[in-house]
């Protein structure tokens, strides 16, 4: 997925905090879920507008950024 299909930043939505594209769900919510030991599936159950593909793409992009590679796509 392309970055703009995964996340969006708009100054009028959560003051520009990154949200999952097409939703008002901040990316930070996913990070908070994972930090608490909750699963991606639990996150997706509660935030129905976010797709599994978006979450997986976001994680791929984060990993690629850490190791200095371009995401290859899922």
Conformation bin of residue 14: beta by default, left when phi > 0, alpha when psi is -120 to 50: left
At 49 the pLDDT is 95
- Which tokens hold the place of 33? 């879920």
At 69 the pLDDT is 72
CA 40 from chain centre, in angstroms, equals 11
Q: Say how many Å lie between the first and final Cα of the chain, rounded.
A: 7
At 72 the pLDDT is 61
Domains, in order of start, for the chain = 3-67 (1.10.10.10)
CA distance 9 to 15: 9
Per-residue pLDDT of the chain (74 residues; tens, 9 = 90+): 999 999 999 999 999 999 999 999 999 999 999 999 999 999 999 999 999 999 999 999 999 999 987 666 55
């Amino acid at each position: 997925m392309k970055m703009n299909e995964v996340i969006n930043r708009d100054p009028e939505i959560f003051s520009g905090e990154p949200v999952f594209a097409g939703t008002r769900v901040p990316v930070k919510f996913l990070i908070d879920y994972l930090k608490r030991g909750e699963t991606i599936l639990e996150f997706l159950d509660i935030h129905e507008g976010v797709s599994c593909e978006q979450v997986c793409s976001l994680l791929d992009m984060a990993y690629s950024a850490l190791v200095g590679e371009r995401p290859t796509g899922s």
